[in-house]
Amino acid sequence: MAEPLCSLGLLLLFCSLFLKSQSIDFVYNGFSRSNLVLDGYAKIKDKALKLTDTSQNAIGHAFYPKQIPMFKNSSPSASSFSTQFVFQIVPSDANRGGYGFAFILSPSTQLSGAEGGQYLGVVNPSNDGNSSNHLFIVEFDTVSGYKEKSDRYGNHIGINTNGMESKISESASYYKGSTQKKEEVYLEEKDPIQAWIEYDGGAKQVNVTVAPLSISKPIKPLISLSIDLSPVMKDYMYAGFSAATGKKASSHYIHGWSFKLNGIADPLNVSQFSAIPAEKSTSSQNKLKILISTFSVVLFILLLALIINFLYRKVVKFEVLEDWELDCPHRFRYKDLHVATKGFKEGEIIGVGGFGTVYKGVLRANGDEVAVKKITSNDTLKGKREFAAEIESLGKLRHKNLVNLRGWCKNKINLLLVYDYVPNGSLHSLLYSSKNGNVLSWEQRFNIIKGVASGLLYLHEEWEKVVIHRDVKSSNVLIDHDMNARLGDFGLARLYDHGQNSHTTNVVGTIGYIAPELTRTGKASKSTDVFAFGILLLEVACGRLPVTYEPDQNVILVDRILDCLRTGNIFDAVDPKLNSTYAVEEMELVLGLGLLCSHRLPEPRPTMRQVIRYLNKDEILPVFDKLNSVGSKRTDQIRSRFMALKLADDITVTTSSIYSSSVGDMSSSSFEITGSGR
């Protein structure tokens, strides 16, 4: 009897830990101290979170510092969440105030470029309504005038996504008691107001409820909107508030806040919240403010003159920010990265490539492990171009199968990129120099292949622009804690708009992965990325480099696979370290798809969306259509089908066209210098 009880206890403990890992919750009953991420006018005052004061055109942001995982267990639907907060909008005593605040879920704590007034510090006219914003917004607005058809009045509450166009809005009110009589609530009230926002991920419905502080939560919500937030949400989001003023202004306070993922937020202790009085604005205070402002301006000018004089004497000339530096992610201080990498100590090096050295670092501020790539190049301009390319592309991309760029630094001749540390190194190192004799299993390899394919599909079709990576190879695929693939090193990447063609004219990449048409035209495309991915597939399946340099000859991986195919058994090419432990049909699929993707001509190559469908077995690869399920007859059919598709002849031409020394005016060594990677 004891043993079943023990097993039941372990099961309950496991379930508890699992559920805990899928949930996040917090409660702030006042803000005497907090770890919130504050920005703009936001600060802690009078045990409350003050987002703005009554200054004109003020903006304040406050976010909970930890990321919230919005999708659990690979579910395609966004998780449920619930939040309660108590707020107060306090106008000055001189006149009625204006504008308001919003509860938001955002992929970033940095709402750069956001404007005040009717945009509430969340978006601006150029990105208002863009689906790439990935914003969920519940606005509490006190001024009418933005797109009258949706926000028809002041003192209203609205539910928005990605911008300030409300999908639904209602005058601020609540349903009172059992009579369900509707009572209006004035957002610019002398007393605090409660608000509840709940999203049911199963029913795909958002409910918003408000009530005075003295009233318990009404049974019926003010707003109920059927909406699927899954397309809006990213894998990880931040919860927080944004408030703004314009020509009209009020102070915006949050007295308390609770939040819970996959559950009901804990109730707040509303009895301890007291109203904050209206801010005084007398003529004497205004005169004092003018006097202080005038003195501050004069003092600032004097200090600025002293600083300019000091810098001129010490540096002679100033560092001017280039265009690409003005729209990039977080900029790190050089001295912080110097400390994190122990002075760029040789023992901290985790990778070396043609364009730089990668160091492991630990940020002193939060203890996070990072990888710091230090760009080095004899051609300073070239180094800056590669540096700028990686920031421009990777800095804005967010996908679970891409390396996450955290920031950058430019200090004199030092160009540095800071991105997430990926602990298991590169796919190349795991295939060819794994530690302790550990060998990647076939299940791990197949999962890695699917991850790289998913990342390339995002780059080619799912982001706001087309991104051509131009250097897909095993050493640029990093493996995280869970053995998932992260495609990185975007130094050679190029971006262009959907529906247009790439304008690249130079041949870059790594020998073995370069599509034959690229050597003739210099024009990189999605298809040249597919070619490199096809070579990567064959490399993972066979455990061999695309080109093996031996004393008497250079062995081409594709030639070896085709030789095995011609002699009757393509599985002779499979990595012997697998000891024949693999799923036969999956191995056939990877080998066949690898040969098809690396076809001599770009037209027969599949798109990455087709590749995903083949790997997920939603479609059957042409080579395997209508084959017997097992046995030597199947092997013979596969061989004849490959031959019928003329993959053998085409790929033989491909290898000879790439690896001969007569490609234009370039030798093999020139390709190695251009595309050795990092």
CA dihedral in degrees (10, 11, 17, 22; nearest 10)?
170
Confidence of residue 70 (pLDDT cuts 50, 70, 90): very high
Cα(280)–Cα(286) distance, integer angstroms: 10
CB atoms within 10 A of CB 368: 14
Nearest to 210, CA basis, from 118, 120, 93, 89: 89
Q: Kindly state the helix (H) or strand (E) to which residue 386 belongs, with its residue range.
A: helix 380-394
Known catalytic residues are 471
Digit-coded pLDDT (tens) for 541-585: 999 999 988 777 788 898 888 888 888 788 999 999 999 999 999
Q: For the ranges 322-331, 521-530, 533-542, which has the lowest average pLDDT? A: 322-331
Digit-coded pLDDT (tens) for 376-389: 655 555 556 666 66
Q: What share of residues in the chain are helix, strand, coil (percent, to 5)?
A: 35, 25, 40
Name all contacts of 326-331 with Cβ < 8 Å and 24+ positions apart. 328/391, 328/392, 328/395, 328/408, 329/391, 329/395, 329/396, 329/405, 329/406, 329/407, 329/408, 330/110, 330/406, 330/407, 330/408, 331/407, 331/408, 331/409, 331/410
Mean pLDDT to the nearest integer, 310-316: 55
Digit-coded pLDDT (tens) for 16-65: 444 444 568 999 999 987 789 999 999 998 899 999 998 889 999 999 99
220 is in an annotated binding site: no
Give 29-95 as a DSSP string. Answer: SS-SS---EEEET-EEETTEEEEE-S-TT-EEEEE-SS-EE-S-TT-SSPPPEEEEEEEEEEEBSSS
| Both tokens assigned to 507 | 């041949």
Report the DSSP beta bridge partners of residue 52: 252
Nearest to 477, CA basis, from 577, 403, 535: 403
Q: Say what the pTM is.
A: 0.50
Mean of pLDDT over the chain: 82
At residue 93, the pLDDT reads 61
CB 90 within 8 A of CB 253: yes
Kindly report the backbone phi and psi dihedral angles of residue 273, in degrees, each rounded to the nearest multiple of 5, phi listed first. -95, 130
Cα(98)–Cα(594) distance, integer angstroms: 61
CA dihedral in degrees (377, 381, 383, 385; nearest 10)?
-160
